[in-house]
Amino acid sequence: MRDTLQGVRLSRRELIAGGARAAVGLAIPAIVPASALGRGGRLAPSERIVMGSIGVGGQGTQHVVGGIWTPSGGLVGRDDVQYVAACDVNARNLENARNLVNQRYGNQDCKTYRDFRELLARPDIDAVLIATGERWHPYISIAAAKAGKDVYCEKPMSVTIREALAVRDAVRRYGIVYQNGTQQRSSHAFRFACELVRNGHIGKLQEVVVAVAGPAPNADCHLPEEPVPEWLDYDMWLGPAPWRPFNSSYVIGWMAWRDFSGGEMTNWGAHHFDIAQWGIGADDSGPLEIVPPDGKGIAALTYRFADGVTVTRDPDRMVREAGQGNGVMFVGSKGKVAVWRYDLRTWPEELAKRRMRPDEIRLHAAENHHTDFLNAVRSRGKPGANVEVAARSITFCHLGNIAYELGRPVQWDPAKERFVRDPVADRLMARRTRPPWTLS
């Protein structure tokens, strides 16, 4: 269902007539079930969104089949989606995904790939779901945009600020739909908390407390070399990350290593700093100063905004005041609201029963995150966690990591999206990548 000139959409049936299926070697069943023709309450194939997944480990499999947070039971459980391909550098994950998809459709059509570029070359695929480690997210997202595929990409969006901005540029340039996997944007509890804040129901917003753990604890990757398992393409697993001899700890727990991840600052931080940004109303802006704890007057990582609002990473305070160690708390002049998965608490209590009036600010609402993406694919609109939002949110996280790494305050220009007269901090917005992988 790829767009053509003047917004005219080619259906899968038209692609089939043009020989696209033959070009990718897909088998056509001799007996076509009624459901394939659109009867029995199901959509005809020409009306379904054709998808492939890149990265089908734990989270990738949950997205495709399990749908742990999707009422519809995952994308494969939907009649408006047809899964046809999976890609992974782990042969075990790949075989498991193929079996699950084939079981769902009752056939043997799910094609598997070890190289994502081969999957992206298929003309019949409309959209891809990317659930690799984050070192790969920006590179595959950009390649998918160039191939004209709509993208649902897991969080974190990137490992650096420059990568996030490059993804945003590519999405704008190629006009694809992009949804980041920050599914709290599609949660009623988080949306309601942000609407309370944005409509002044807790008074003037003064501060936001974010409860997440910190940066990746291991800056240097120098573990002893181990034999590479036969089921793993380790070179492709590393991708653009620096070369390191294989050690299973990298593969099992990559979020602990700075070569591969920003740690919990970009893992859970991609969720909770995103909600802080949403509640503040800073989806198109950002903080002016980021100050790391100094053991003196600054006890927690602090972001300062132009209007005086501060955001602190302070899990202990969240536990003390809200009884939760993972979430977001907005503090205003007349009240507070704390929100986590998937509940909230307000001070005063009656705020939790508040219903927004039609004339008040209403934020983007979605049935669930998958549906929000698929609706945007069909309408060519923007989902809630679109690329503009995602780039600002992950930048928020990276700014904190950079302040931690430098051990000093940094000044940020949210309009120019660069540091203020700080070439040392500017250099930390990017990193070298391992050939042949580039953002261009």
Asked whether residue 15 carries a pLDDT value surpassing 60, the answer given is: no
Assign 105 a pLDDT band (cuts: 50, 70, 90).
Answer: confident
Q: Has residue 127 got a pLDDT over 90?
A: yes
Tokens for 248? 């299973």
pLDDT at 78 over 90: no
CB 241 within 8 A of CB 434: yes
Highest mean pLDDT among 180-189, 213-222, 294-303: 180-189
Domain boundaries, the chain: 5-184, 187-215+264-363+393-427
Q: Can 5-184 and 187-215+264-363+393-427 be said to share one CATH topology?
A: no
Residues 119, 111: Cα–Cα separation, whole Å: 9
Token digits of residue 314: 């302070």
Angle formed by the axes of helices 188-198 and 269-280, to 10°?
30
CA atoms within 13 A on the CB side of 295: 3
Closest CA to 255 of 264, 243, 245: 264
Average pLDDT of the segment spanning 123-145: 97
pLDDT of residue 43: 65
Confidence at 65, pLDDT banded by 50, 70, 90: low
In this predicted structure, what is the pLDDT of residue 440? 85
Q: Are 247 and 229 in contact (CB under 8 A)?
A: no
For the stretch 330-345, pLDDT in tens is 999 999 999 999 899 9
The pLDDT value recorded for residue 296 is 84
Q: Flag the least confident range among 61-70, 137-146, 348-357.
A: 61-70
Mean pLDDT of the chain: 88
The rounded distance, in Å, linking the Cα atoms of 209 and 191 is 17
Q: Which residues partner with 312 through β-bridges?
A: 209, 302
pLDDT band at 75 (very low <50, low <70, confident <90, very high): confident
Q: Taking a C-beta distance cutoff of 8 angstroms, is the pair 384, 364 a contact? A: yes
Please report which confidence band the pLDDT of residue 7 belongs to, taking 50, 70 and 90 as the band edges: very low
Residue 265 to residue 398: CA distance in whole angstroms: 8
So what's the pLDDT on residue 66? 56
Q: What is the pTM of this model?
A: 0.88
Contact 50, 56 (CB under 8 A): no
pLDDT of residue 67: 52
Backbone angles phi, psi at 84, to 5 degrees: -130, -10
Question: To the nearest whole percent, how much of the chain has pLDDT over 70?
Answer: 86
Nearest one of 176, 193, 237 to 434, comparing CA atoms: 237
Greater model confidence, 15 or 269: 269
**Long-range contacts formed by 297-302: CB under 8 A, 24+ apart:** 301/214, 301/400, 301/403, 301/404
Q: How many residues does the chain have?
A: 440
State the CATH architecture for 187-215+264-363+393-427: 2-Layer Sandwich (3.30)
Asked: is 5-184 a CATH 1.10.760.10 domain? The reply is: no
State the pLDDT confidence band at 73, using cuts at 50, 70 and 90: low
Q: What is the pLDDT of residue 374?
A: 93
Could you give the CA distance from residue 113 to residue 84 in angstroms, rounded to a whole number? 11
Query: What is the share, in percent, of the chain residues with pLDDT greater than 90?
Result: 77
